[in-house]
Amino acid sequence: MEISKNSIDSQFSKTGVFRDNGEPAKNKHSHSSPMSLREPLSTTYEVNRGSLMKMRYFQTRKIKTIELKFAALLRDELSHLPKQLTIEQIPQHIDRIKTFTDKCHYFFDEYISQVLKQHTAKISCKANCPNCCHHYPMSIEPFELISIYSTLREQATAVQSTCEANEKPHNEEEFALLIEGCLKREREYNHKLTDTAFDIDTALQKYFSLAIPCPFLYGGNCGIHEYRPFTCQMYFCMSDPKYCDPKHLQPHKNKSFAIYLPEHLENLILEISAHYSSIDLQESLYGGIAELHLLMINSKNC
C-alpha cells in the first residue's frame, strides 16, 4: 500500500510556536509576550535566520494516553459544574475545584514531559532561574485563580489558628503583602497599557523591561510552583538564561518556546471557564488574585 505524505503527517501532533525572542509567534489567539494569551495547539515554528521552520513531534502512545485521560477529567468536571458558578458558591465547591485544578496541572506537566523528550536541544531552564518570572502572566483560568487564592488563604489561616489571640501571625502578614504586591503590579501594567494606547503587546513588553519580580518568588524560586498556572508551566528556553534577563535581554540570541495543549483540550478548558463567567475575574494572575480577594471579602467568604 502506498503511504502518502498526508498520511504520515497525520501521525504527528504539533507542539506550539517558537520565536527567537522568547515570544510565541502571533496569530489571532496570542499576543507577543511569553506570558500572554495561550493559544490552541498549532504548528510549531522556530525562527531560523529570519525564516520560519515547521517542527513536529511524533504522537506516542504515552502522549495519546495522557490526552485521553485529560479529556476524561475535563468532561467529568463539565458534568458536575453548576451552569453558572457564583462567588457565594465557591466555598461549597472549593475542594472539588482545587482537586480538579491540581489534576489538570498534573496532566499538563506529564504532557510537557513527554513532548520535551523529543526535543533535540537541551533545555536551559532550571531552579533558581527566575528570569521569566518578570513577565505579566496572562490567560489564567478562573479555576486556577480560585485554587491559588484558596491555597494561599488556607495556609495563612492555618498558621493563625495556632497563634495566640493577640499575636498577628507571620503568614497572615505575608498574605497581605502578597495581595498588595499583586495590586502594585496590576497598577504598573495598567499604567503601561494606558501609555501605549492600549496596545497589549507593547504594554506587556514594557512591563517586562521594568524587571519587576513576581510577588510569589522566594529566594529566586517560585513559592507556588506546585500549583502554578498553565501559563507558567508552558514556556522553556534553549539558549543561555542570561538572554532571558529583562535587564540584558538580547532577542536575537534568545531561543524560547512554548508547548500548547491540543485544540480539543483547549476547547474543553474554555467550556469549563465559561461556567465561571458570572464571577467575571480578570485573566491576569495579579489582577485576578487581587480582584478575587476583594470579591471574597465583600461576600464575607474570606
Average pLDDT, the chain: 78
Residues listed for the chain:
302
How many angstroms separate the CA atoms of 107 and 225, rounded?
15
For 7, the grid coordinates are 498520511
Per-residue pLDDT of 209-219, as tens digits, reads 899 999 999 88
Q: In sequence order, what are the residues at sequence separation of 6 or more whose Cβ sits closer than 8 angstroms to the Cβ of residue 258?
A: 16, 17, 18, 24, 34, 38, 234, 235, 236
How many angstroms separate the CA atoms of 33 and 172, rounded?
33
Q: Are 133 and 222 in contact (CB under 8 A)?
A: yes
Per-residue pLDDT of 110-131, as tens digits, reads 999 998 888 877 888 888 888 8
By CB atoms closer than 10 A (0-12, 13-18, 19+), residue 198 is exposed
What is the CB neighbour count within 10 angstroms for residue 55? 20
Decide if pLDDT at 68 tops 60.
yes
Report pLDDT for 301: 63
How many angstroms separate the CA atoms of 290 and 179, rounded?
6
Buried b (16+ CB within 10 A) or exposed e, 229-251: bbbbbbbbbbbebebbbbeebee
Q: Which long-range contacts (CB under 8 A, 24 or more apart) does 28-31 make?
A: 31/138, 31/200, 31/201, 31/204
The answer to which of 65-74, 191-200, 243-252 has the lowest mean pLDDT is 243-252
How many angstroms separate the CA atoms of 152 and 44, rounded?
36
Beta-bridge partners for 13: 57
Positive/negative CA dihedral, 61, 236, 21, 23: positive
Per-residue pLDDT of 7-19, as tens digits, reads 323 332 333 433 3
Domain boundary assignment for the chain: 11-298
Q: How far apart are the first and last CA of the chain?
A: 65
Best CA proximity match to 40, nearest among 300, 281, 262, 270: 262
Q: In sequence order, what are the residues at sequence separation of 6 or more whose Cβ sits closer than 8 angstroms to the Cβ of residue 76?
A: none
For 120, the grid coordinates are 533535540
How many angstroms separate the CA atoms of 114 and 57, rounded?
10
The answer to which of 94-103, 217-226, 268-277 has the lowest mean pLDDT is 217-226
Distance, C-alpha 210 to centroid of its chain: 20
Report pLDDT for 29: 37
Half-sphere exposure of 225 (CA within 13 A, CB side): 13
Q: Which amino acid is at 247?
A: K
